[in-house]
Chains A and B, each alone.
Chain A
Amino acid sequence: MKRLRRSMLFVPGNNPGMIRDAHIYGSDSIMFDLEDSVSINEKDAARFLVYNALSNLKYGNKELVVRINDLSSGLGIQDLEAIVRAKPDVIRLPKTECAQDVIDCEREIERIEREAGIPVGTTGMMAAIESGRGVLNAMEIALSSKRLIGIALGAEDYVTDLKTVRSDGTELFFARCMILNAARAAGIDAIDTVYSDVNNEEGFVKEARLIRQLGFDGKSVINPRQIPPLHQVFMPSKKDLTKARAVIEAAEEAERRGSGVISLNGKMIDKPIVTRARYLLDLAEAASVTPVEEV
C-alpha cells in the first residue's frame, strides 16, 4: 500500500511537550520544524531537541519529516549534520526556488550519509515552494532528485512574494495547479499549504475539499484539531467504496482469466479507473487504522 500523506502535522522544534505528544493525534506524517517556528536564538537548542527525540522516542508507523532551515542561511547545513544522523524519513527543504537548491541539499545529505555509515539514498526529501520563481520552476524542482517524495506549497511566503494576502484561495489557484501537475508529472506527492485560522473549521474544511478535488494528496496542518476534519474530507463515500471494491474484483477476475479486458455490469473498465479504485481502498484502509471522528 502506498504511504498516505493526507495530513502532515507541524510540530515546533523547540517545544518538548508537543514533540513528545505528536504521534497521538493520528496524522499520517509528523513534521518537526527547525525553521520558522524557532526563533534565531533557539536554533541550536531546537536542533538538540529534535535530534534527541528522533534518536530516542518511538512514533510508531508515522512518517517523520524535519523541516530544516534553508542552506543559504548557514543554519541549514548545521541542521543536516545533526538530523540526517538521526535518520528521519524525510528532510523538508524550505523556500525552494529551483532544481539547484534541491541538488545542493542532496549533495550535503549524501556526504553526511557516507560519513555516518548510512546507506546512500536512505534519507528522503521534499521541497516546499514558496515564491513566484519557485512555482514557475515547479517542474524542474519535482524532477530534480530521486529522493523527492513530494513537493509542497508554502502559501504565506508565496502570497507575500505576489504582493497579495490569502483570501478565498483564488490567489493560490495558479500555484496549486502548477505544483500539482509538476508532482504528477514526476510521480510524486503534492502537499497543500497550512490553513492558519485554526478557529475557522468551516473555512478549513472548505479549503480541504477544494484541494482534494484538485487532486492533492494531503495538507500540512498546524493544529491537531484540523486532523479529523481533514481525514473526513479524504474519506471516500460508502457508494464510492462499494464501486471501487467491485472494480477491483472485476480486475482480479479478468487477471485470473488471463484477459486484458476488464468489464463490470456490461461496461469496459479502463486502467485509470482501476488505479483510482485502489487509491480509494487505500484511503479507506488508512482511515480504519486511524478512525475518522465525526465532524
Chain B
Amino acid sequence: MQIVTKGVAGTMESSDIIVRIEPAEQKGIELTLTSAVMQQFGKQIEKVIRETLAELGVENAVVNAVDKGALDCTVAARVKAAAYRAAQCEDYTWRTKQ
C-alpha cells in the first residue's frame, strides 16, 4: 500500500488513539508515539502499529500517534482507517473471524 497523502483517524477521547500517517521522504516507518500509559504499554502500542502497517504492506510512512488508553484492537482499527485514507484506497480486505 502506497501512502500518497495525509490520512488521519481516531480522536483524543479516552480509550481512543489518533493516528496520522503521511508520505515519507526516507525509507521505512518513522513513528512518533505519545501515550498516557507510555511506561506500561508504549512498546505494545508501537508493536501493534508496526504490525498493522506491515500487514497492509505500508513500507514507507511518517506516523504520528497520540494514545488515550486504546485497546490493541482500537489501535489496529485506527491505523488501518488512517492508512487507507492516506493511500486514498477503498479496496478493503476483510478476514473471516476464526
Interface residues of A (CB under 8 A from B): 15-17, 19-20, 44-45, 48-49, 51-57, 78, 81-82, 85-87, 116-118
Contacts and interface: CB of A to CB of B under 8 A. Distances in A.
Contact of A15 (B9, B13, B77): B13
How many residues of B sit at the interface, in one of the four size bands?
Answer: 20 to 34
Interface of B: 9-10, 13-16, 70-74, 76-78, 80-81, 84-85, 90, 92, 94-97
A245 to B, nearest CB: 41
Given A54-B97, A82-B94, 11 more contacts: A16-B15, A20-B74, A44-B90, A45-B10, A49-B74, A52-B76, A53-B73, A56-B72, A78-B92, A87-B97, A118-B96
Nearest to B69: A17
B83 to A, nearest CB: 10
A162 B75 CA distance: 43
B77 A86 contact: no
Contacts of B16: 16-17
Contacts of A82: 92, 94
A81 B10 CA distance: 22
B96 A85 contact: yes
Contacts of B81: 44-45, 48-49
Given A45-B10, A85-B97, A86-B97, A20 B77 contact: no
Given A45-B10, A45-B81, A51 B94 contact: yes
Contacts of B92: 78, 81-82
A239 B10 CA distance: 52
